[in-house]
């Protein structure tokens, strides 16, 4: 086993002892402050110390639970806590709860404490002139498909964790490099399903993540580890990736904010792809303010991702927090997509050719994801918050009807899957292998079909046939397969905005509540919850999920809002105004015993 494949929470005793020592020192200081000449009338120090330790722990819990980045920076500015104090507090919570919820695959305690100590030294040296970077001292998690130099990029798959053949990242993904430069402290890598290819969060590398609001239920996938860590206060913020719904749907299950930026605003270089033509990355946070701060850090052109080249000329200017106004919804108009309310589905990778009307109708039936009654009810309640904040919500059968789902379903990406996999391994693979062929030669087994396009098990375990793999840039069929239908779908999307003078679309982020994974769903183990939002990836428009209430079970419901391409600032403004008007978020009550046995990943 390499040093990078150590079991999670390997530093628990050290972290706990340091935190206890700091609390004892705080206790001694508190006792000294309250001693008086008539101390004989007060309690003896030996009686006071245990109570004061508990009080000190309660005080730091009150200060740090649900804290935002601006609030944390105010605490740092007043020297109430150091970065080391805060990182230790998060590591102690991970030690306490991660064995139950299994949100974080690898905990880098020593690395996080080293960065914290360095940042504390920087603050001391700078004294009153010290100006912290936007995410200075903010403990975050990185999804396990995103390269962090020196750590294993498991991509949720046990095959990248084989001892002696681990996929140890030679460099940081672009977003990781930017987050580090902004002062963020990476405390670990969040759990995810194999290759991000599932709507739930079961991983061959680390097992199942449970929903923080009820561990029996699914947090969704594939960013289920990040949403669980963030909502449970095991981290302040985290990264997610999204190929079909994987930032937005899990955010909806866990009462957090999930941002899908306009594709091209944020680089995906250094992220193991599922389908590079649909993949995206963005922040997951407890508040829109924190998400806006993180997006500002993550955004920008990157020569390793050509789709970001002209972002500066198209995107709304930052900083994104300047768009966050409580009255941002006043006078705005939002449409509700008809095909989502009907549950009309879209094939994940699209279809090879439109075919006949009968074939299109059959595809719709095959991909149908009905909107469950309790989710419809939750959505109708949620949009009342939009109306109360001054927005109009329009239901009209012409707003993205079933024909839009047919158009979006014609964006065919499966012939180009292997191109993304090969490009990732070439630049971000370990020294032993830089291609699928080299992996097979070194390890003795092939990469799975879901990331190569071969026949076998595909997304959510569905059987897939082999598709001849090509390069998008040189494929004579690329225009028919991808470019033309994508333009047509984007035109259909924009036409609705023009015709009905809309500012955005609003719809349920999932078609159903999170399922109970201790019980069969439809006669088999659940792979959900599912959504009807993969069309967002197909055309690359921005979308955001915000907490929007709770089901009768106590599980969260999330509202999704989308906007015109490159209107990310306005979109965050809408989300912020909704958040401030409704205040739906409430943190989960965590348990220390649950259905999931704690185990160590070898």
Per-residue tokens: 495: 């036409």
Average pLDDT over residues 144-170: 98
Q: Is residue 573 part of a domain?
A: no
CA distance 178 to 172: 9
CA distance 541 to 260: 8
Tell me which of 198, 203, 218, 246 is the catalytic residue.
Answer: 246
Give me the pLDDT at residue 53, please.
82
Average pLDDT over residues 473-493: 97
pLDDT > 60? residue 16: no
Whether 246 sits among the annotated catalytic residues: the reply is: yes
Are the beta carbons of 443 and 496 closer than 8 angstroms? Answer: no
Are the beta carbons of 579 and 290 closer than 8 angstroms? Answer: no
Per-residue tokens: 41: 């009338």
| Strand, helix or coil for residue 495 | helix
Average pLDDT over residues 483-490: 98
CATH classification at residue 159: 3.90.1300.10
Per-residue tokens: 101: 């919820």
End-to-end CA distance of the chain: 8
Lowest mean pLDDT among 14-28, 106-120, 124-138: 14-28
pLDDT > 50? residue 42: no
Contacts of 466 (CB under 8 A, 6+ apart): 449, 453, 454, 455
Give me the pLDDT at residue 49, please.
54
Closest Cα partner for 428 from 222, 273, 198? 273
pLDDT tens per residue across span 175-228: 999 999 999 999 999 999 999 999 999 999 999 999 999 999 999 999 999 999
Per-residue tokens: 473: 């840039």
Are the beta carbons of 521 and 515 closer than 8 angstroms? Answer: yes
Are the beta carbons of 268 and 279 closer than 8 angstroms? Answer: yes
Closest Cα partner for 6 from 139, 152, 114? 152
Residue range of the domain that includes 84: 3-323
9 vs 469, more confident:
469
Are the beta carbons of 251 and 237 closer than 8 angstroms? Answer: no
The single residue listed with the structure tokens 């829109």 is 288
Closest Cα partner for 268 from 194, 195, 174? 174
CA distance 423 to 393: 43
Neighbours of 277 (CB within 10 A): 25
Residues β-bridged to residue 562: 505, 543
357 — pLDDT class (breaks 50, 70, 90): low
Lowest mean pLDDT among 281-295, 316-330, 361-375, 471-485: 361-375
pTM for this predicted structure = 0.90
Residues β-bridged to residue 185: 139
Per-residue tokens: 602: 């070898």
Q: Cis omega (within 30 of 0) on the bond before 404?
A: no
Q: 82: part of which helix (H) or strand (E)?
A: none
Q: How many domains does the chain have?
A: 1
Tell me which of 147, 154, 190, 222 is the catalytic residue.
Answer: 222
pLDDT > 60? residue 362: yes
Average pLDDT over residues 72-90: 97
pLDDT > 70? residue 25: no
Q: Is residue 177 part of a domain?
A: yes
Q: Is residue 209 part of a domain?
A: yes
Per-residue tokens: 112: 């996080």
Residues β-bridged to residue 305: 302
Q: Is residue 456 part of a domain?
A: no
pLDDT > 90? residue 365: no
Neighbours of 336 (CB within 10 A): 18
Give me the pLDDT at residue 290, please.
99
Q: What is the mean pLDDT of the chain?
A: 90
134 vs 350, more confident:
134
Tell me which of 68, 143, 154, 251 is the catalytic residue.
Answer: 143
Q: Is residue 306 part of a domain?
A: yes
Q: Is residue 192 part of a domain?
A: yes
Contacts of 533 (CB under 8 A, 6+ apart): 244, 245, 248, 249, 340, 507, 509, 543, 560
237-243-248 Cα angle (round to 5): 45
Q: Is residue 66 part of a domain?
A: yes
Neighbours of 37 (CB within 10 A): 5
Give me the pLDDT at residue 230, please.
99
Do the strands 392-395 and 202-203 form a parallel or antiparallel pair, or are they unpaired?
unpaired
Closest Cα partner for 409 from 328, 494, 488, 462? 488
pLDDT tens per residue across span 232-251: 999 999 999 999 999 999 99
Closest Cα partner for 377 from 558, 585, 581, 551? 551
CA distance 423 to 354: 29
173 — pLDDT class (breaks 50, 70, 90): very high
pLDDT tens per residue across span 252-309: 999 999 999 999 999 999 999 999 999 999 999 999 999 999 999 999 999 999 999 9
Give me the pLDDT at residue 127, please.
85
10 vs 592, more confident:
592
Q: Is residue 111 part of a domain?
A: yes
Contacts of 120 (CB under 8 A, 6+ apart): 82, 83, 84
């Amino acid at each position: 086993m390499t040093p990078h494949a150590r079991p999670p929470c390997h530093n628990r005793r050290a972290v706990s002892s340091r935190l206890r020592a700091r609390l004892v020192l705080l206790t001694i200081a508190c006792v000294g402050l309250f001693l008086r000449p008539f101390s004989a009338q007060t309690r003896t120090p030996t009686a006071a110390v245990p109570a004061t330790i508990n009080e000190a722990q309660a005080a730091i819990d009150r200060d740090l639970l649900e804290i935002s980045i601006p609030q944390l920076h105010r605490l740092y500015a007043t020297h109430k806590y150091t970065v080391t104090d805060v990182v230790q507090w998060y590591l102690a919570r991970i030690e306490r709860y991660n064995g139950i919820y299994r949100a974080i695959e690898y905990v880098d305690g020593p690395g996080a404490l080293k960065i914290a100590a360095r940042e504390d030294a920087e603050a001391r040296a700078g004294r009153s002139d010290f100006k912290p970077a936007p995410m200075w001292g903010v403990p975050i998690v990185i999804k396990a498909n995103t390269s962090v130099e020196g750590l294993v990029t498991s991509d949720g798959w046990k095959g990248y964790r084989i001892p002696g053949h681990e996929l140890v990242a030679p460099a940081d993904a672009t977003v990781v490099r930017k987050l580090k430069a902004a002062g963020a402290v990476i405390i670990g890598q969040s759990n995810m399903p194999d290759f991000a290819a599932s709507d739930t969060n079961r991983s061959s590398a680390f097992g199942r993540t449970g929903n923080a609001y009820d561990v029996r239920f699914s947090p969704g996938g594939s960013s289920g580890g990040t949403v669980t860590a963030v909502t449970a206060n095991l981290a302040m913020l985290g990264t997610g990736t999204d190929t079909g719904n994987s930032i937005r749907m899990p955010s909806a299950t866990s009462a957090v904010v999930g941002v899908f930026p306009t594709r091209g605003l944020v680089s995906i270089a250094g992220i193991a792809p599922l389908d590079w033509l649909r993949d995206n990355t963005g922040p997951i946070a407890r508040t829109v303010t924190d998400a806006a701060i993180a997006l500002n850090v993550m955004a920008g052109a990157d020569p390793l991702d050509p789709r970001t080249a002209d972002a500066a000329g198209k995107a709304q200017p930052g900083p994104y927090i300047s768009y966050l106004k409580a009255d941002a919804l006043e006078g705005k108009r939002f449409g509700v997509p008809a095909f989502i309310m009907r549950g009309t589905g879209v094939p994940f990778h699209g279809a090879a050719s439109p075919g006949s009307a009968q074939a299109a109708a059959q595809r719709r039936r095959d991909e149908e994801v009905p909107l469950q009654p309790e989710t419809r009810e939750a959505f109708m309640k949620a949009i009342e918050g939009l109306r109360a904040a001054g927005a109009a919500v329009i239901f009209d059968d012409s707003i993205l009807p079933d024909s839009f789902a047919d158009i979006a379903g014609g964006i065919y990406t499966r012939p180009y899957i292997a191109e993304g996999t090969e490009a990732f391994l070439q630049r971000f693979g370990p020294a032993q292998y830089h291609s699928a062929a080299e992996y097979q030669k070194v390890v003795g087994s092939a990469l799975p079909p879901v990331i190569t396009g071969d026949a076998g098990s595909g997304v959510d375990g569905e059987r897939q046939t082999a598709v001849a793999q090509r390069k998008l840039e040189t494929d004579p069929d690329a225009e028919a397969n991808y470019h033309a239908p994508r333009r047509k779908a984007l035109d259909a999307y924009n036409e609705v905005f023009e015709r009905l003078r809309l500012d955005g679309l609003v719809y349920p982020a999932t078609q159903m509540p999170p399922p109970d994974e201790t019980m069969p769903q439809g006669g088999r183990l659940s792979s959900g919850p599912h959504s009807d939002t993969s069309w967002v990836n197909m055309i690359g428009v921005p979308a955001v999920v915000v907490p929007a209430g709770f089901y009768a079970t106590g599980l969260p419901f999330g509202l999704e809002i989308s906007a015109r391409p490159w209107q990310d600032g306005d979109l965050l403004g809408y989300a912020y105004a909704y958040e401030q008007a409704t205040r739906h978020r409430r943190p989960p009550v965590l348990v220390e015993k649950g259905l999931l046995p704690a185990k160590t990943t070898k």
